[in-house]
Amino acid sequence: MPAAPLIDAYGRIHDNLRISVTDRCNIRCFYCMPETEVQFVPRAEILSFEEMERFARIAVTLGITKLRITGGEPLLRKDLHLLIRKLAAIPGVADLALTTNGVLLPQLAGPLYEAGLRRINIHLDTLDRERFLRITRRDDLDRVLEGIALCRRLGYHPIKINAVAVKNLTEPDIVPLARFGRENGLEVRFIEFMPLDAERRWDRGQVLLADEILEVLSRGIAPLEEIPDRDPRAPATEYRYADGLGRIGFIASVSRPFCLNCNRIRLTADGHLRYCLFAIEETDVKPLLRGGADDGQIEELIRAAVGGKWEGHEINSARFIPPPRPMYSIGG
Ligand code: SAM
Ligand code: SF4
């Protein structure tokens, strides 16, 4: 008999697990990492591929069907294709995806595709070299563009572009990025800047809101209409151009929180289970994974973590407290 689904106190069923494979990164986006003196988790604390695979297998028996690999920068993890192969082979995994900054795709897109990866989100905020450098503090735009072109040639599908939108900075990128997506068959998803930066500089005034972007696109490219039959539990609100040529997504965690429909849990690279990107508390799974616990004990721990999930983040209230870990250490 199949196990009961992972359901929380608010009736939300969880079928989506994000696994961070490293907290290290080869670039330094200002809204995520500090420029220097980054605190990384010691290597011995990072889960092995075997530990991640075991956790994923147990989660799949509890109804998880969607897995996403993230980080830090997941392509920095040596032999990532071996993990992809293991995860793709788990019966019950309907959807396996990766989120990357794309810098190492020219070398690794091929081996990852061969290992079974098809869905990829590539992080790109701008097509302007100077602004790319300002945002990421690295001069790697050409590599990312080369990586995107290679993914298209190899047949990855869908390829989505994750663009963090920051007020008084990325406005000039809205139309060029959206055009780039339209011309190359990529869905661009604009992500509102969230309070997850390591330097704790976020304030509401820096959030470029989904509605503002929507208006710029409708005026600058073509009118957009919301896609009515989309999955209500997907975090992105999706629009299509009225002329039928392409679509755009918004992850509007600040202006349109989607906590009521949340179906996700996250495993950090050092083995902590989180029920929310913004959670303050988390559950350390590593002592069980490394201490000889049986699958039933790990299952119980996952159920307890989901059972204790809060109703939602409170970014829009005075009570909001940013989580102790910044984005690169949680796994976005
Ligand atoms: N390094 C990979 C990358 O950049 O795609 C994967 C990890 S990164 C933490 C995952 C996503 O988080 C990125 O695509 C980026 O768009 C997003 N992100 C990082 N910091 C953010 C912030 N403060 N607000 C909103 N999105 C953020
Ligand atoms: Fe690295 Fe991704 Fe964070 Fe940028 S958003 S610093 S690429 S982990």
In contact, 6 and 81? CB cutoff 8 Å: no
How far, in Å, from the CA of 32 to the mean position of ligand 1?
A: 7
Binding site membership of 27 for ligand 2 (Cβ less than 6 Å): yes
Q: Which amino acid is at 137?
A: R
Least confident of 44-48, 251-255, 297-301: 251-255
pTM exceeding 0.75: yes
Binding site membership of 209 for ligand 2 (Cβ less than 6 Å): no
How far, in Å, from the CA of 192 to the mean position of ligand 1?
A: 11
Q: Whose CA is nearest to atom 1 of ligand 2?
A: 25
Binding site membership of 47 for ligand 2 (Cβ less than 6 Å): no
Nearest to 89 by CA among 122, 111, 67, 107: 67
Task: Give strand pairing partners of 66.
Answer: 16, 95
Tell me: the pLDDT tens digits for 68-115? Answer: 999 999 999 999 999 999 999 999 999 999 999 999 999 999 999 999
User: Which of 23, 25, 75, 329 should be mutated for ligand 2, with most atoms under 8 A from CB?
Assistant: 25
How far, in Å, from the CA of 160 to the mean position of ligand 2?
A: 16
Strands 95-100 and 66-70: parallel
Q: Whose CA is nearest to atom 14 of ligand 1?
A: 123
For the packed helices 174-184 and 210-220, what is the interaxial angle rounded to 10 degrees?
70
Tell me: the pLDDT tens digits for 153-203? Answer: 999 999 999 999 999 999 999 999 999 999 999 999 999 999 999 999 999
Question: Average pLDDT of the chain?
Answer: 95
Which of ligand 2's atoms lies nearest the C-alpha of 103? 7
Tell me: the pLDDT tens digits for 46-60? Answer: 999 999 999 999 999
Contacts of 228 (CB under 8 A, 6+ apart): none
Q: Give me the helices (H) in the chain, please.
A: 49-61, 80-88, 105-114, 129-136, 141-154, 174-184, 210-220, 286-290, 295-307, 327-330
In contact, 166 and 134? CB cutoff 8 Å: no
Which of ligand 1's atoms lies nearest the C-alpha of 163? 16
Predicted confidence (pLDDT) at residue 263 exceeds the cutoff of 90: yes
Report the CATH architecture of 6-330. Answer: Alpha-Beta Barrel (3.20)
- Domain ranges in the chain are 6-330
pLDDT of residue 285: 98
* Whole-number Å distance between alpha carbons of 164 and 119: 20
